[in-house]
Amino acid sequence: MRVGIIGIGNMGLAMALNLRERGVDVTVRDLRDGPERIARTAGATVAASPAELAAAVDVVITVVGTGAETREVLLGADGVATADGAGRVVIICSTIAPDDVIACAGHLARASWQTLDAPISGGPARARAGSMSMMLGGDPALIASLAPLLAMLGEPRFVIGPHPGDGAKAKLVNNLLAAVNLAAAGEAFALAERLGLDAKTVLDVVCASSGQSWIAADRIPRALAGDFAPRAHARILTKDIGLALDCARGVGQPATLGVAAQAVFARTCALGWAEEDDAAVLKACRQPDTT
């Protein structure tokens, strides 16, 4: 199976390197030379455009940042849909609005492409190891046919529903909760510091007690160490909160804590840390809010 990956940032590049290590024929496309050079060194082929990549592979995986970027690489003038998709598949791994997934799947179907909605979670280290979580929305027969590839990419894998868009909805529910937990952790550890406590000792307490959350246990240790190198940019989770809140408004579901978390992340970005790791919410919580 020949696999193409469009968007080789933190997650996409890790996925490409994982597949190459397992002997998969991989073609990549990105707007930046650096990640493409790394992928080429690992044995991947670099395509000049999404259309060129699509013509050379059996499965296209998109891991770009936004719905607009996903539409462009799939449906644009030089996009995947310009190639005949008969017998071939697009896997959308980006966290984007369910409506964007549904729209892309519809357009791709007109060019004979099948679409699997498969947002991912877990960070670059898990993507590199093939152990990231995957939330799958698509035809059960399609999912079954892709089982060997999906097994190389992620574990656990959750079949959310039979339609593209189902996976995106589940991912946004997850990311809303992750954002609320991380914003709360930033606030709690800023308070611990202001109270004169040793934050690392408090972290040990929290991780062994009822305040524990996966995202706090993952992010707060490096934040306390002053390590804000981006594994997941603050702007990305900020975007995801907005998408989740849009979904909530669309079905009339209150999301009071989500709105509060959105404000914390928006402030983190406004203070200049949008391109840092989302653990930078701790820095924002340390700053007095003068608004």
Q: State the Cα angle at 103 between 29 and 239, rounded to 5°.
A: 65
- Size of the chain in residues: 291
State CA 160 to chain mean position distance. 17
What residues contact 195, with CB distance under 8 A and at least 6 apart? Answer: none
Catalytic residues: 171
Question: What is the C-alpha R_g of the chain?
Answer: 20
State CA 197 to chain mean position distance. 34
d(CA 7, CA 30): 5
Which of 278, 290, 289, 291 has the alpha carbon at shortest distance from 186?
278
What residues contact 238, with CB distance under 8 A and at least 6 apart? Answer: 262, 265, 266, 268, 269, 274
Q: Are 62 and 90 in contact (CB under 8 A)?
A: yes
d(CA 191, CA 180): 17
Torsion region of 122: left, alpha or beta (phi above 0 gives left; psi -120 to 50 gives alpha): left
State CA 119 to chain mean position distance. 7
What residues contact 23, with CB distance under 8 A and at least 6 apart? Answer: none
